Amino acid sequence: MPHKRTEPPASWSQMSPSDRAARLNPRRREIVRPALEHPQHFVLLSVRDMAKKLGTDPATMVRTAKGLGFDSYKDFQRYLHQLSVARATSLDMMQSGVEGDSSLPARLQKSLDQEMKNLRGLYNSLDMRRLISVANRLWKARRILLLGGDLASSLVFYLDYHLNLLGMPVSNATTPGVATHIVRSMSKADVVLGISFRRGLRMTIEGIQQARKQGAYCVGLTDTYISPVARFSDEVFLASVEVPSFGASYAAPVAVLDLLLLACGEVRRTRTLELLKKVDKEQRMGFRWYEL
Average pLDDT score over the chain: 89
Domain count, the chain: 2
**Residues 6 or more apart in contact with residue 49 via CB below 8 angstroms:** none
Domain of 208? 124-285
Residues 167 and 270 in one domain: yes
170 belongs to a structural domain: yes
Residues 128 and 257 in one domain: yes
pLDDT, position 245: 82
Query: Taking the complete model, does pTM exceed 0.85, yes or no?
Result: no
Question: What does the longest C-alpha to C-alpha distance in the chain come to?
Answer: 74
Residues 187 and 63 in one domain: no
pLDDT digits (tens, 9 = 90+) for 156-189: 999 999 999 999 999 999 999 999 999 999 999 9
Cβ contact 244:110 at 8 Å? yes
Q: Name the domain boundary from 30, 56, 86.
A: 86
Q: Which helix (H) or strand (E) holds 62?
A: helix 58-67
The sign one gets for the Cα dihedral 99, 101, 107, 108 is negative
Residues 48 and 152 in one domain: no
Q: Name the domain boundary from 37, 61, 86.
A: 86
Residues 164 and 232 in one domain: yes
Could you give the 3-state DSSP secondary structure of residue 181? helix
pLDDT digits (tens, 9 = 90+) for 251-274: 999 999 999 999 999 999 999 999
278 belongs to a structural domain: yes
pLDDT digits (tens, 9 = 90+) for 184-215: 999 999 999 999 998 899 999 999 999 999 99
The CATH number of residue 44's host domain is 1.10.10.10
Residues 195 and 275 in one domain: yes
57 belongs to a structural domain: yes
pLDDT(9) > 60 = no
Cβ contact 124:252 at 8 Å? no
The Cα–Cα gap between 179 and 168 comes to 19
pLDDT, position 205: 96
The CATH number of residue 213's host domain is 3.40.50.10490
Residues 132 and 232 in one domain: yes
Other beta carbons within 10 Å of 205: 21
Residues 186 and 41 in one domain: no
Cβ contact 192:208 at 8 Å? yes
Q: Which helix (H) or strand (E) holds 193?
A: strand 191-195
Q: Name the domain boundary from 60, 86, 112.
A: 86
108 belongs to a structural domain: no
pLDDT digits (tens, 9 = 90+) for 225-254: 889 999 999 999 999 998 888 888 999 999
The Cα–Cα gap between 107 and 119 comes to 19
